[in-house]
Amino acid sequence: MSTPQVEAFLEMMAVERDASPHTLSAYGRDLADAEAGIDGGLMGGDEAGIEAWYADLGRRGLSPATQARRRSAVRQFYRFALGEGWRADDPSRRLDAPKQGRSLPRTLSGDEVERLLATAATHDGAAGLRLVALVELAYASGLRVSELLGLRVEAVRRDPAFLIVRGKGGKERLAPLNASAREAVKVWLIARDAARPEKTPDSPWLFPSASAKGHLTPRRFAQLLDQAALDAGIDPARVSPHVLRHAFATHLLEGGADLRVVQTLLGHADISTTQIYTHVATDRLARVVRDKHPLAREE
């Protein structure tokens, strides 16, 4: 059973941080586990009790990812408790994050991306044209979903070959647009403008909607992709806005693009973040060594 303090924390997460229902549910389970497993509960536990509970998570067989999330939930709860004056200390401050192997990104093959686009194109009316433009832009440019959905219509009115994108940390970068993406945007703009009622001001967003922010939301885009994936015979669990960004990077590297170039296009501050995509090019690299190395031998 949840305590009043946990309920107040979850309410804060929902209102002030706009946490999704999924996140709130997960944090609620994590804090319930801590409440039951810490001697004295969350409000009465000390450093030793919290560290003992945390150490037991691994012995119970929980994955490093789950352990890390529970650590995050507890640490955020105690920071909130400090701010509310419920506790004068943070007994979770010495919890170390579990070591995690870096997960490989999910991606799609080139054929699967083409099937996804072909399926999107079969949708009737402006909704289908919008989905094609979304997928084309995501796959052609490697934009983060927030960058894609936050595009302003004025940025594409003149059919640019590149977009100037403001990414994480306010850093700007150039995102390329190929001919296919540019054509999809042109067609979408015609449909978008035709759908706007007369004498109403134009939305500043390329993909306007009735949401609070005025543009299509990541959740809605994900729902549209799920349906397109089902129609294309692809497992929806393998498709998301972020997977299209992964496919952009993966297919560039498979085609021989330089890692530093892909890093720049993705807007990664650290090249080690980009290097995770190199796993997909293993076969190509093996062929290069076999065909080009002077000491290569045929088996």
* Active site members: 144, 168, 242, 245, 268, 277
Question: Element (H or E) spanning 14, and its range?
Answer: helix 4-16
Q: Please, are residues 186 and 136 in contact by the beta-carbon 8 Å criterion?
A: no
* 147, 266 Cβ separation under 8 angstroms: no
Nearest in space to 190 (alpha carbons), one of 132, 237, 268, 139 = 132
Distances (CA, A) of 220 to 216, 240, 271: 7, 11, 31
3-state secondary structure of 96: coil
Gap between the Cα atoms of 176 and 182, Å rounded: 10
Q: Which residues, 6+ apart, have CB-to-CB distance to 284 below 8 Å?
A: 254, 256
Q: What is the largest CA-CA distance in the chain?
A: 73
What amino acid is encoded at 148 in this protein? L
The three-class DSSP label of residue 280 is helix
Do the beta carbons of residue 250 and residue 278 sit within 8 Å? Answer: no
Backbone angles phi, psi at 292, to 5 degrees: -110, -25
